[in-house]
């Protein structure tokens, strides 16, 4: 089970605070690696200790200088600092002018500081997810102070920002558009306002404008304070740190609990939305269900509302559908019991070729995974409560390659889901059934599986699968 061991090693490395492992885990988060959800499940119990502060504002507001100043203060207090930069103009993202980065050299070389920039493109709305996941990795790795720098434009960035515990909006005098930008979306999210570069003319006017806006708006139990700073000299920084601590104390109180709950709900909501969008994408494509629907609608065989409802129910079924080896909701988890047909394994010469017919039927791929121990690439396609598993050999000496050589492509095995593979194997063995595997191993989806020889089953290779107790 090389996959599971690699995962466990990575998790342990992260928890031990090993920087290369932390960086790799964040890369998994950023690239939406299929292994990341399992990693997060392993790490999540160790999160919740870090203080997470979001800083946003227009480019040029001095967020990076402020972020760096806060990082140095935390370091001086002996705390480890993680910086997540989602702002392409930030020196932490490699943007800005070289001079900025040189001024922050001390942070780059400090082993107690980990700086990570997140690509702002190519996330398909998943930027907030990736950033929140990166924060969790840092939290689990023992970074006590986490600063998330975003640029205050675009819905994606606002979503990232609002996931922080304490959200700081940074403004400067003489940037008239800023106030408008706040009105547009940041207002209800901001926990603190910073008027940076406060040594410039007009800083009091900006403070006044913010206060007026706060008077008009809804702010609940926490009234966002307005702090004047000059990040380059450190003026006002101590006050900002005090206000951040007060906000943290507020969050730990009864009224803050509601605020925290709202944030957690937002995060889950975002994940659900992303999952639904992902499933919507699977309906698209050349021979996708959306294409078929469009043809039916244009041919006046179906009206658009009915077509949309049918597609939506497919998305729904997909999201409610169990993974190939997750215990079925309908059946009680009883050790020896077969709960459902998990999947039908079909050997194909190549997935590219072997998929066409099933795609035509609308049985599109939901999950693809290489199971290296079996030298096979699997493609899972939901069919109601069960799946089709198309199998392509990754090596000429693999089992699937041999099966195709002998019998040609076609049905390869039937997989039954059981409550306890080991117990089932023991029972079968005691009855004299011929087993291919006496011990279960980890297959696709991290399911614990074992095969039963066709000689004992009436000619069918039978796979038994059980959800891994991870």
Residues that bind Zn ion (CB under 5 A): 345, 389, 415, 463
Residue 248: closest CA among 222, 228, 226:
222
For residues 190 and 212, give the distance between their C-alpha atoms in angstroms, rounded to a whole number.
15
- Is-contact 297 304, C-beta < 8 A? yes
With respect to Zn ion, which residue has the nearer C-beta, 32 or 344? 344
Which stretches within 201-253 are classed as H helix?
Answer: 203-216, 237-252
With respect to Zn ion, which residue has the nearer C-beta, 25 or 415? 415
Which residue do the tokens 């001390």 mark? 106
Q: Which two tokens stand for residue 134?
A: 């990166």
Residue 459 Ramachandran class (φ > 0 left, ψ -120 to 50 alpha, else beta)? left
Query: Which residue's CB atom is positioned nearest to Zn ion?
Result: 345
CB of 289 to Zn ion, least distance (A): 25
CB of 343 to Zn ion, least distance (A): 6
CB of 104 to Zn ion, least distance (A): 52
Q: Dihedral angle at the C-alpha atoms of 172, 175, 177, 181, nearest 10 degrees?
A: -20
The DSSP bridge pattern shows strands 166-171 and 376-383 to be unpaired
With respect to Zn ion, which residue has the nearer C-beta, 157 or 463? 463
Q: Dihedral angle at the C-alpha atoms of 76, 77, 78, 83, nearest 10 degrees?
A: -70
Residues 6+ apart with CB under 8 A from 134: 26, 29, 30, 84, 116, 118
CB of 430 to Zn ion, least distance (A): 24
With respect to Zn ion, which residue has the nearer C-beta, 225 or 324? 324
Q: Which two tokens stand for residue 325?
A: 């080896």
How many CA atoms lie less than 13 Å away from 121 in the CB half-sphere? Answer: 1
Phi, psi of 441 (to 5 degrees): -130, 170
With respect to Zn ion, which residue has the nearer C-beta, 87 or 389? 389
Q: Which two tokens stand for residue 104?
A: 């922050």
- Is-contact 22 146, C-beta < 8 A? no
Which residue do the tokens 């500081």 mark? 113
Q: Which two tokens stand for residue 119?
A: 């690509």
CB of 441 to Zn ion, least distance (A): 12
With respect to Zn ion, which residue has the nearer C-beta, 417 or 463? 463
With respect to Zn ion, which residue has the nearer C-beta, 150 or 378? 378
- Is-contact 414 407, C-beta < 8 A? no
CB of 443 to Zn ion, least distance (A): 6
With respect to Zn ion, which residue has the nearer C-beta, 21 or 343? 343
- Is-contact 92 61, C-beta < 8 A? no
With respect to Zn ion, which residue has the nearer C-beta, 178 or 463? 463
CB of 387 to Zn ion, least distance (A): 9
CB of 389 to Zn ion, least distance (A): 5
With respect to Zn ion, which residue has the nearer C-beta, 146 or 347? 347
Q: Which two tokens stand for residue 5?
A: 């061991």
- Cα Rg of the chain, angstroms: 27
For residues 408 and 346, give the distance between their C-alpha atoms in angstroms, rounded to a whole number.
11
CB of 327 to Zn ion, least distance (A): 17
């Amino acid at each position: 089970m090389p996959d599971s061991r690699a995962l466990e090693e990575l998790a342990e490395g992260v928890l031990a605070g090993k920087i290369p492992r932390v960086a790799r885990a964040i890369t998994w988060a950023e690239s939406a690696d299929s292994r990341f959800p399992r990693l997060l499940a392993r790490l999540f119990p160790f999160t919740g200790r870090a203080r997470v502060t979001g800083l946003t504002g227009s480019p040029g507001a001095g967020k990076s200088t402020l972020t760096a100043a806060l990082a140095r203060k935390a370091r001086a207090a002996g705390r480890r600092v993680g910086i997540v930069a989602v702002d392409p103009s930030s020196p932490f993202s490699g943007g800005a002018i070289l001079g900025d980065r040189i001024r922050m050299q001390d942070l780059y070389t400090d082993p107690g500081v980990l700086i990570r920039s997140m690509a702002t493109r190519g996330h398909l709305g998943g930027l907030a997810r990736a950033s929140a996941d990166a924060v969790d990795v840092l939290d689990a790795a023992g970074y006590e102070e986490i600063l998330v720098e975003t640029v205050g434009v675009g819905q994606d960035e606002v979503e990232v920002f609002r996931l922080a515990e304490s959200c700081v909006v940074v403004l400067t005098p003489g940037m008239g558009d800023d106030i408008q930008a706040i009105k547009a979306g940041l207002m209800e999210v901001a926990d603190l306002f910073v008027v940076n570069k406060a040594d410039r003319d007009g800083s009091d006017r900006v403070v006044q404008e913010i206060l007026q806006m706060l008077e008009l708006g809804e702010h609940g139990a926490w009234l966002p304070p307005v702090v004047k700073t000059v990040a380059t000299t450190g003026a006002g920084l101590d006050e900002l740190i005090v206000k951040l601590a007060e906000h943290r104390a507020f969050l730990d109180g009864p009224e803050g609990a509601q605020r925290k709950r709202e944030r957690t709900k937002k995060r889950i909501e975002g994940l659900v939305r992303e999952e639904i969008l992902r499933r919507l994408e699977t309906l698209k494509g050349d021979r996708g269900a959306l294409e078929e629907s469009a043809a039916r609608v244009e041919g006046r065989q179906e009206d658009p509302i009915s077509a949309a409802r049918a597609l939506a129910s497919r998305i729904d079924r997909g999201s409610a559908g169990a993974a190939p080896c997750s215990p079925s909701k309908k059946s009680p988890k009883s050790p020896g019991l077969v709960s459902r047909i998990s999947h039908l394994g079909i050997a194909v010469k190549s997935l590219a070729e072997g998929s066409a017919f099933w795609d035509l039927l609308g049985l599109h791929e939901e999950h693809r995974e290489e199971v290296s121990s079996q030298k096979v690439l699997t493609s899972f396609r939901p069919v109601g409560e069960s799946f089709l598993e198309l199998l392509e050999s990754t090596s000429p000496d693999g089992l699937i390659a041999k099966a195709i050589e002998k019998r040609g492509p076609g049905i390869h095995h039937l997989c039954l889901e059981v409550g306890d593979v080991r117990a089932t194997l023991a029972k079968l063995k005691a009855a004299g059934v011929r087993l291919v595997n006496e011990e279960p191993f980890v297959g696709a989806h991290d399911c614990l599986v074992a095969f039963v020889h066709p000689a004992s089953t009436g000619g069918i290779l039978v796979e038994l699968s059980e959800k891994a107790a991870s």
